[in-house]
Amino acid sequence: MARKIFLAALAVFSAALLLGESARADGRVIKAQAGTAKGRAIQALNAGDFDGAIKILESDGSRDPFDDDYKVLLAQAYDGRGWKRLNAGDFDEAFDDFGKARLNEPAKKFSTYLGLAYCSYRLEHMDDAQGYLDEALYLNPSSAQAMTLKGQIYYQRGRLRDAVSEWEQALQEKPGDRAIQGLLAKARKELGVEGSFTRKETYNFNLKYDGEEDRKLGELVLDILQSVSSDVGSDLDFYQKEPINVILYTRRQFVDITDAPAWSDGVFDGNIRIPAGGGMIDKTALSAVLHHEYTHAVIHTEVSGHVPAWLDEGVAQYEEHWAKKRGAVGFTPVPLSSLDSTFVSMDAARAREAYAESLSAVRYYVNRFGMYSLSQLIKEMGKGEDISEAMKYAAGVSLPEFERDWREDLGR
């Protein structure tokens, strides 16, 4: 997926290394005697104890509120903790820390603004992310990390030419970077196919399709999508913050762009991609695919970490009920742990069984615990909990207990 490639391209930041009882920050050296609040804060920062440093600095009753040394150290502590939380996926808390760092900094710091931009991006506040990035690039015009993130925002908004331009500049600053090369190659390939496509925008979606030939199809898809966002959003308690790109291809274009297996009827890789152009329109089937792929978009917006494939695909299939009834498909059960990773490498027969088992497990979950519990399961995973702990919170059972009960219900 494009988003995963991007994550590898963004360098991990942390607070600058501090030595002894002195710290170099913002172009000056801060000195303090051992045992003083400043000295203990510097030691804590040197040990990576950002919480400890913040506590020392904020609880020092003798501190001079106009002492820039305190402000610099406190800003550095908040900045360091912000990157630590960001790397752990705690984007809301990280954003708060970067905000506090910015308030204490006597002079603007590049890493703080990059952190604010990255958190805003992950929290789906794209306009804010763009503003923080502009400030970061003003402070460090040659930052490949900032250019890469800016390109990703353009890419997510369907502005392929702008994304390519940013990633080309990033690659000039960081020649040979394989992650940026991967992003650039993908965007150039898509631009070669989609460069002449017609673009239609609504509040929730950016739709692209191949011009006049598929105009009626485009109008139909936009009509269906408005129901899709309402249907899936009500089931999963999800409110969309940013438009999602939906791209319609011919089957040949779809395979060329996505490298998806022949049995695939759609892909979500940060964009919803559907092989629907240039042929007869089956409105029911099209609606089912759009509900399915939009559900993937919702889940991967809510959960930044790993989502087991059986849950991801099971929920996506379940949400197709808005378009059509899915009959039961026979399958030979395997442990859910063996359905943890994507099904794309499976042949058609094995994939059919994997999808059927995934849907069976999710149906059992919803029938037993309800749709609200399923939405809470996804939200808890979005907070960083693994699926078993999230399930304990949402349903009162662990994953092994759930799997045991589901298998007993199957009568196998």
Q: What kind of fold does domain 204-410 have according to CATH?
A: Neutral Protease; domain 2 (1.10.390)
Give the pLDDT of residue 216. 85
pLDDT confidence band for 30 (50 / 70 / 90):
low
Rg (CA), the chain: 24
What are the angstrom distances between the C-alpha of 123 and each of 31, 101, 129, 153, 241? Answer: 38, 19, 9, 12, 9
Give the pLDDT of residue 280. 60
* CA distance linking residue 387 with residue 377, whole number of Å: 8
Give the pLDDT of residue 13. 47
pLDDT confidence band for 20 (50 / 70 / 90):
very low
Give the pLDDT of residue 25. 46
Mean pLDDT (whole number) for 378-407: 95
**Listed residue (152, 143, 147) closest to 110, CA to CA:** 143
Percent of the chain residues topping a pLDDT of 70: 88
Task: Please check whether residue 120 is in contact with residue 54, taking contact to mean a CB–CB distance below 8 angstroms.
Answer: no
* CA distance linking residue 216 with residue 18, whole number of Å: 63
* CA distance linking residue 247 with residue 237, whole number of Å: 25
* Domains 2-194 and 204-410 alike in fold: no
The pLDDT tens digits of the residues spanning 145-161 come to: 999 999 999 998 889 99
The pLDDT tens digits of the residues spanning 151-200 come to: 999 998 889 999 999 999 999 999 999 999 999 999 999 999 998 899 99
pLDDT confidence band for 89 (50 / 70 / 90):
confident
pLDDT confidence band for 39 (50 / 70 / 90):
confident
User: Among 17-26, 105-114, 201-210, which stretch is predicted with the lowest mean pLDDT?
Assistant: 17-26
What are the angstrom distances between the C-alpha of 363 and each of 147, 292, 309, 324, 399? Answer: 43, 15, 15, 15, 15
pLDDT confidence band for 213 (50 / 70 / 90):
low
* CA distance linking residue 81 with residue 148, whole number of Å: 23
Amino acid at 131: G
For the chain, give every domain's residue range: 2-194, 204-410
207 strand-pairing partners: 200, 246
- Top CATH class of 2-194 equals mainly alpha
- The mean predicted confidence, pLDDT, of the chain is 88
pLDDT confidence band for 21 (50 / 70 / 90):
very low
pLDDT confidence band for 65 (50 / 70 / 90):
low
User: Is the pLDDT score of 57 beyond 80?
Assistant: yes
Give the pLDDT of residue 326. 77
The pLDDT tens digits of the residues spanning 291-348 come to: 999 999 999 999 988 899 999 999 999 999 999 887 777 889 999 999 999 999 999 9
Give the pLDDT of residue 64. 67
User: Is the pLDDT score of 9 beyond 90?
Assistant: no
User: Is the pLDDT score of 62 beyond 70?
Assistant: no
User: Is the pLDDT score of 375 beyond 80?
Assistant: yes
How many C-beta neighbours within 10 Å does residue 58 have?
A: 13
Mean pLDDT (whole number) for 64-81: 86
